[in-house]
Amino acid sequence: KVEVIHQDALEFLRKDRRQFDLILDDVFVGYARSIHKPRWLPRPGFRLAKRRLKEGGVLVSNALAEAKYLQRGMQELFPGLLRLRVPDFENQILVAGQLAALEILEQASSKQLNGIKVERPGSVGTLLPRSITDSRWLRLAHL
């Protein structure tokens, strides 16, 4: 069963108490070349999203220029992190969760993933806080 929730993501994460197998962050603000993540990601957004994950659940974040910043936030919260690089796109997909949940993705071949490269990124240090200013939406799914 897949459930798509389209509303203010930060408000949803703060108020809703349901738990999900997967949370997909595809939240951006701005327009065209000025598009970026809202200031509440990764903090407090990823911490709130982690609370909404079931045991063994996975958080996926679509990132652009701020990928390293988001990676730091995920590494502080999750034992496992993978980065997916899509050929011919500047997007990076960050996948965080328990190590066992990520092993299947890590073992998939490039052919199975249509050329997407799976990497285990190194540590990028500690995360500085950001302020909360805006939000858009998240996709959440019961699997």
Q: For residue 136, which of 64, 39, 2, 60 has the smallest C-alpha distance?
A: 39
pLDDT the model gives residue 125: 52
- The band of 137, judged by pLDDT with boundaries at 50, 70 and 90, is very low
Contacts of residue 11, defined as CB under 8 A and 6 or more positions apart, other chains included, come to 135
Residue 109 has pLDDT above 60, yes or no: yes
Question: Whole-model pTM?
Answer: 0.82
Task: For residue 93, give Cα distances in angstroms to 17, 46, 81, 82, 120.
Answer: 26, 15, 10, 8, 12
Which tens digit of pLDDT belongs to each residue from 25-70?
Answer: 999 999 988 899 999 999 999 999 999 999 999 999 999 989 999 9
Burial of 112-123, coded b for 16+ CB within 10 Å and e otherwise, reads eeeeeebeeeee
Please give the pLDDT value at position 139.
45
